Amino acid sequence: MKKYIIILSITLLTNNIFAQNADSIQIDENVQIELSQPKYTDADSTFAMANKLYNEAKYEDAVDAYEAILEAGKESSYLYYNLGNAYFKQNVLAAAILNYERAYRLNPSDEDINHNLALARTQVVDKFNEVPEFFVITIFGKIKSLFAINTWGIIAFISFLIVLILALLFLFSRRLFVRRLSFWLACVVLVLSISCKLIENNLRKYDNAIVFVPVLTAKTSPDDSGKDMFLLHEGAKVLIRDSYNEWTKIQLPNGEQGWVISEAITVI
């Protein structure tokens, strides 16, 4: 009787998870299809028109078209990448870096995105001596750049389904060897599933921002009376640590922290 209860619970859990993941995967696939085909939807036609405007060097009009797609609730690494290129052609450094960063967040393994992001960063005034990372963090960063964000989610989901199948095999098999093997395999695959989900969640975190004003002064406290600490310039990337009213506490790659006006930065 207990086995049937467990089976029912697993079935319901699987259906629930599958429904949630299917929805998220479908949304992403729709975006990719719409942005890769020249017809059929308004987003597709707008994307094709934006690309045409870009090729004609009408970068300002191309930006408007790309932004219209984003306002319609569509996004993809290709869209952000093209938008970054259009801004870069107009020498709007902060907006170019912001969109390259958003493209990188969705697809960190893309060589073109990495190249253009690195190129844009060379034009940022601020250069920091970064605090050395713990080697585990460095390894984690290299691993999460292997696949796009949606790929990590799919791997996590499929791995979880395999865990459920192995669990059923463990429950119903009468052979001791098969039960032991399925148990240990389930443990290994479960670790893989959890790890992939953690990587996906990490890539979806919105805890970095780009400076969007020519010069930004960081202060010791979240008010105008605070003492000036350091200056930042357009395009600098900062880590968000806290917020208070219209102020945001940021951290630089070298570890320094300070408070800045929230309107002066844009979250990636």
Same domain as 254, residue 218 = yes
Statement to judge: residues 220 and 159 lie in one domain: no
Mean pLDDT value across the chain: 83
Looking at the structure of the chain, the number of domains it has is 3
Task: Give the tens place of pLDDT for each residue, 26-78.
Answer: 223 232 334 444 333 578 889 999 999 999 999 999 999 999 999 999 999 99
Beta strands in the chain (DSSP E): 208-211, 215-219, 228-233, 237-244, 247-251, 257-261, 265-267
Polymer length in residues for the chain: 268
14 band by pLDDT with thresholds 50, 70 and 90: very low
For 13, 121, 161, 220, the CA distances from 235, given in Å and listed in that order, are: 45, 8, 43, 22
CB of 92 closer than 8 Å to CB of 123: no
Number of Cβ within 10 Å of residue 177's Cβ equals: 8
Which pLDDT score, from 0 to 100, does residue 25 have?
26
Same domain membership, residue 195 and residue 65: no
What is the CATH classification number for the domain harbouring 78?
Answer: 1.25.40.10
Beta strands in 95-235 (DSSP E): 208-211, 215-219, 228-233
**Rounded to whole angstroms, how far apart are CA atoms 36 and 188?**
37
pLDDT tens, 234-245? 999 999 999 999
Two tokens, residue 128: 């920091």
- Shared domain for 117 and 164, answered yes or no, is no
Q: Which domain holds residue 231?
A: 208-267
Identify whether residues 109 and 238 lie together within a single domain. no
* 16-25, 172-181, 188-197: segment of lowest average pLDDT: 16-25
Helix (H, G, I), strand (E, B) or coil at 108: coil
Mean pLDDT of 81-87: 97
Are 249 and 220 within 8 A, CB to CB?
Answer: no
Is pLDDT of 110 > 60? yes
Q: What is the pLDDT of residue 131?
A: 62
Rounded CA-CA distance 117/96 in Å is: 8
Query: pLDDT tens digits for 207-248?
Result: 899 999 999 999 999 998 999 999 999 999 999 999 999 999
- Contact between 218 and 232 under an 8 Å Cβ cutoff? The reply is yes
Residue 219: both structure tokens together: 């202060």
Q: Which two tokens stand for residue 140?
A: 């984690």
* 143 and 186 share one domain: yes
The answer to the question of residue 128 being in a domain is no
- Both structure tokens of 185: 């395999």
What is the band of 133 on the pLDDT scale with cuts at 50, 70, 90? low
- In a domain? residue 126: no
The answer to whether residues 25 and 150 touch, using CB atoms and an 8 Å cutoff, is yes
